[in-house]
A and B are shown apart, each in its own frame.
Chain A
Amino acid sequence: MNQARVNPVNTALMHGALVLYTLIALFPVFVILINSFKSRKAIFREPLALPDAESFSLIGYQTVFKQGDFLLYVQNSMIVTVASLFFILLFGAMAAFALSEYRFRGNLWMGLYLALGIMIPIRIGTVAILEMMVATGLVNTLWALILVYTAQGLPLAVFILSEFMRQVSDDLKNAARVDGLSEYTIFFRLVLPLVRPAMATVAVFNMIPIWNDLWFPLILAPSEETKTLTLGSQVFIGQFVTDWNAVLSALSMAILPVLILYVIFSRQLIRGITSGAVK
């Protein structure tokens, strides 16, 4: 094979470029995290030094816990994200199954109709969404967010899942039909378990944008009880601009949950992007 053309200088250059960019990518996160554990003086005197015995301080975190309802915000974000993902996956898989499994009049048009939303951002309709949520009394409830994120996630979910469901063997399904299983049983017992990897991809794709969204929480659910973590940290940081310890700690606490999610799901996410998305 082409073993011969690996040039050590080239390899060093490639690693050099990648290390440089990795540093650029991680530097801000690193600076925020280390400084959140330092006293106010140390933050300004030696911003790039690691916290040591002298400069270590948790004062910022204490302020955050005293002032903000961070645990409530985290809980709200969790509820919204998990519920939206559940509905996206359930409704998306059902619709994908209908589109990929059955021939019926309007199948193609239905597929195209559902695919429209892949390219058109749901934010364009915000004015009318807000009006509708006010009219139905859903404004300032988590349901408003769950509904919006479900609608936003469905188009891509249906698209990806129906691609995968076409690959499920027909013989298997027909065998089940001969055995007298209903279409519902076939879907829930047979097809869903088989497309689990695709479901995971869809879930990971949707999870981070939902968790990080600022626009809809700001507009549809800004009340204290329904603030998500993203909106909560935005408001909190805005109020504490001059308290650097508190701001840095709040930022670190907002980084942490996403970072944990990323560590857990990064393989899933990267596999999803590198396999399914480029079509």
Chain B
Amino acid sequence: MERPRIRWHILVFLAPAVLVYTAVMIFPLFNTLRLALYSKIDQERVFVGLENFQRLFLDPIWSDQFWNALGNNFWFFVIHMLVQNPIGIALAAILSHPRLRFAALYRSAIFIPTILSFVIVGFAWKLILSPIWGIAPAMLDAVGLKSLYAPWLGREEYALTTLSLVSVWQFVGIPMMLIYAALLSIPDEILEAGEIDGITGMSAFWKIKLPLILPSLGIIASLTFVGNFNAFDLIYAAQGALAGPDFSTDILGTFMYRTFFGFQLQLGDPHMGSAIASAMFAIILIGVCIYLFGIQTRMRRYQL
């Protein structure tokens, strides 16, 4: 055998994927991090070191918006963790019940919002919640709760929470599906063994199933984190690039878009935009690392 010859076919197989991935994803990613260290002064690109970050974090013109967007983004994430994931788990727990009829039908129907685009979801809810059309107030009226109605998307104090809940409505299908799959993979013998020991129904869920699906919960939490900190579309579709009212729904994605692309009278600034992107990158990296090293390695995985 002539061992040391170059096996060209390996190169041919790898080249297209590696080239496209490197050129369009990895290289721009690092280039963006690099651009964050420059600034445009008199039409010249000048190296300014960490000055952009200093402005972003400390200069009130930028930092007010940045911390506002970051705080909003955290709230956005918190709502997803507190509402979306528990509802998803509950639905999956019911769906995975043996001998439940129409399970496939419910599953497909509940997943429909997930496949719709943010534009559809954003506008549809905007119309439904709008005081002009009156569907939401009329429905609340029907159950005698009309006094609870407010134009939620137009009020600073409610808009972000409302949009987070719309996003929850849209994406509940994903945790539901992943947990459903994890629950189905639990062998019957384990549940039957529990049953013999008198653990059934709800306590079987809390004591047997939940510990077994913890790894999936970890994955869902990290997917939610990455998805939320890189969200943009829903806010843009529903509230526009200004993320109104008065920036109360501004998150990092919309802030970055406004900054680097410009809007109305503000000119785009690719370097500040890169700085925001770098901050987002750092946040996502920290989140992923907490998951990988802090949670995943400590979690006990049960051999099923």
What residues make up the interface of A, taking CB atoms closer than 8 Å to B? 2, 5-6, 10-11, 14-15, 17-19, 21-22, 24-26, 28-29, 31-32, 43-44, 47-48, 87, 90-92, 94-95, 97-99, 102, 104, 110, 113-114, 116-117, 119-132, 147-148, 150-152, 154-155, 158, 182-184, 187, 208, 211-215, 218-219, 230, 233-234, 237, 244, 247-248, 251, 254-255, 258-259, 261-262, 266, 270, 273-275, 277-278
Contacts and interface: CB of A to CB of B under 8 A. Distances in A.
A132 B281 CA distance: 20
Contact of A29 (B124, B178, B233): B124
A35 B120 CA distance: 14
Given A126-B277, A127-B270, A273-B178, A18 B230 contact: no
A214 B230 CA distance: 13
A278 B182 contact: yes
B260 A123 contact: no
B180 interface: yes
B254 to A, nearest CB: 11
Contacts of A266: 108, 111
| Nearest 7 interchain pairs by C-beta | A125-B28, A95-B17, A212-B117, A128-B31, A151-B24, A128-B28, A98-B13
Given A151-B24, A187-B13, A244-B127, 8 more contacts: A14-B94, A29-B124, A104-B10, A123-B232, A124-B280, A128-B28, A132-B24, A212-B118
A40 to B, nearest CB: 12
A25 B173 CA distance: 10
B270 A131 contact: yes
B18 A114 contact: yes
Interface stretch (B58-66, B77-85, B99-107, B143-151): B99-107
> Is chain A's binding surface mostly helix, strand, loop or mixed?
helix
A34 B181 CA distance: 34
Given A104-B10, A126-B32, A212-B117, A150 B219 contact: no
B24 A129 contact: yes
Nearest to B166: A28
Nearest to B260: A127
B7 A102 contact: yes
